[in-house]
Amino acid sequence: MLALLYLGGFLYYSSHFLPGTYINDVDVSKKTLSEANTLLKDLSPYIDVIELDKNEEPVTDRVDLRKVSDSISYDASKILSDQDKISWFIPSDKHLICNKISGSYTKAKIKSVIQGFYFLNKENIVMPQDATLVIENNKVVLKSEINGNCIEEKAVINRIDEAIKDYFSGNGTGKLDLSDSYAKPLIKADDPSFEGKPEIYQKALDKTVNIKITDDRTIALNKDKLCGLLKFESSELTVDQDNLTQFIHDFYEEYKNEESNYIDRSALQNDLSKSLLSDSDQNVSVSWTDKANSGRIEVEILKQSLYYYENDTLILSSPIVSGNPEITDETPHGNFEIRRMSEDSYLMGRDYLEHVDFWIGFDPSGRVYGLHDASWRNEFGGDIYLYDPSRGCVNMPTDKITILFDYVDIGTPVYIHD
């Protein structure tokens, strides 16, 4: 009788769940597979997606698979087949997880579900940064890499797609850790290329550059000034051309009356560029000429850049915004020359009246097309001209055209090309 009773229980629990069995916190004791799957059908399976916040601490978003799939059904067959029916008579509670489901879905639905996720909010994102050399407080410093928390939306969708497939195959865990999918910096602080460089480059900051203005007047550029004229690009010390342009302009304005002649700005630019990168003290003499520097302006539309040269030396470069014939007027192309220069002017059209501090007109009349500041713009360069162009003129930042206005004159050549 005991043998028959045991055999009967063994056969019964071959098709029914053992007493005390809970699947996903649902009591399925003594239920058949069909009955258990019916009890589970209203549950919402999910995948917890673990991301990183700005401080590289974990933050979790949840993917409700019922919002991704048209029809979700559980399959507890593996749990039933794996249960210990040999020991069916020994009472115990078992809290199990059904990690096998079936259904259909598309990646488009995954994309719609994750739109509110942490990693898609730009305000939450810190881009990875390579380790690099920088100048801080007059010192060359090796700045460590930043891992950041940037991950592509497409990569997340693919990872969630894989996690759902795991669920369908019965290998789902309900968790997806994205930490190994984040973009990583390529260069770290322990990269051997940094070895010895801070000490070498520090010598360029510790020197003095003496500028001889006249026989009885010399000024010295010490560390404080030199650090403002140098910068690092790809961990290589280079001259900060924008700051050097401003320095030479300020220098020119301050000392242009020391002699009856003119300062050769191109010579000063070349001499300072070389001296600034030296690792020992340098002496530079101002060259004086008996006539003003003759320069030329070049505007490159595709690069949205303006260049001003004197004696083939680049004295000033500036981002611009030009016209776009598909939206407004095209900026004229070809060879021109400055025809008109004025300060404190107004640009007038059928639907606008804008004040500009500087106008440098280059069309034949000098009144229609010109270079001018545009205080209404916060940015210049890039692809702005493709969607927010000028009306055919060349818009420049105020600080750049202020310098250009001081350097050019009526008759200065202007060449505009793609």
pLDDT tens readout for residues 137-148: 999 999 999 999
Residue 258 pLDDT > 80, yes or no? no
Asked if residue 256 has pLDDT above 90, the reply is no
DSSP string, 256-282: TTSSSSEE-HHHHHHHHHHHHT-SS-E
pLDDT at 232 over 90: yes
| CA–CA dist 63, 114 (Å, integer) | 7
| Contact present, 319 and 397 (Cβ < 8 Å) | yes
Asked if residue 72 has pLDDT above 80, the reply is yes
Residue 351 pLDDT > 80 = no
pLDDT in tens, 353-374: 889 999 999 999 999 999 999 9
Sheet of 370-373, strands arranged across? 340-349, 352-361, 370-373, 394-396
Query: How large is the average pLDDT for residues 303-329?
Result: 96
Query: From the CB of residue 316, how many other CB atoms can be counted at a distance below 10 Å?
Result: 26
Compute the distance between CA of residue 83 and CA of residue 88 in angstroms, rounded to an integer. Answer: 9
HSE, CB side, 13 Å, CA atoms: give it for residue 369: 20
Q: Is this prediction's pTM over 0.85?
A: no
For residue 23, give both structure tokens. 């699947």
CA 4 to chain centre: 74
CATH 3.30.930.10 fits 196-289, yes or no: no
What is the arithmetic mean of pLDDT over 52-75? Answer: 87
Least confident of 86-90, 156-160, 265-269, 350-354: 350-354
Q: What integer pLDDT is reported at residue 100 of this predicted model?
A: 84
Q: Are 304 and 384 in contact (CB under 8 A)?
A: yes
pLDDT of residue 304: 98
Residue 155 corresponds to which tokens in the numbers above? 């990569």
Residue 54 has which token pair? 């700005």
Q: How far is CA 177 from CA 48, 120, 173, 215, in A?
A: 8, 16, 11, 71
Q: Where are the domains of the chain?
A: 2-133+151-181, 196-289, 295-417
Average pLDDT over residues 268-286: 96
Distance, first Cα to last Cα, the chain: 99
DSSP state of 126: -
Q: Can you tell me whether residue 141 is helix, strand or coil?
A: strand
Query: In terms of C-beta distances under 8 Å and separation of at least 24 residues, what long-range contacts does 356-359 make, across chains too?
Result: 357/398, 357/401, 357/402, 358/398, 358/401, 358/402, 358/404, 358/405
Mean pLDDT of the chain: 92
Distances from the Cα of 40 to the Cαs of 20, 45, 128, in angstroms? 16, 10, 43
Q: Identify the CA nearest to 372 among candidates 350, 344, 346, 401.
A: 401
Among 139, 143, 315, which Cα is nearest to 227's?
Answer: 139
The highest-level CATH class for domain 295-417 is mainly beta
Task: Look at residue 241 and tell me whether its pLDDT is greater than 90.
Answer: yes
Nearest-angstrom CA–CA distance, 226 and 411: 36
More confident residue, 316 or 96: 316
Band (102; pLDDT cuts 50, 70, 90): confident
- Rounded CA-CA distance 201/44 in Å is 61
CA atoms within 13 A on the CB side of 15: 4
The predicted-structure confidence for 9-22, as pLDDT tens digits, reads as follows 889 989 999 999 99
* 24 pLDDT tier (thresholds 50, 70, 90): confident
- Assign 43 a pLDDT band (cuts: 50, 70, 90): confident
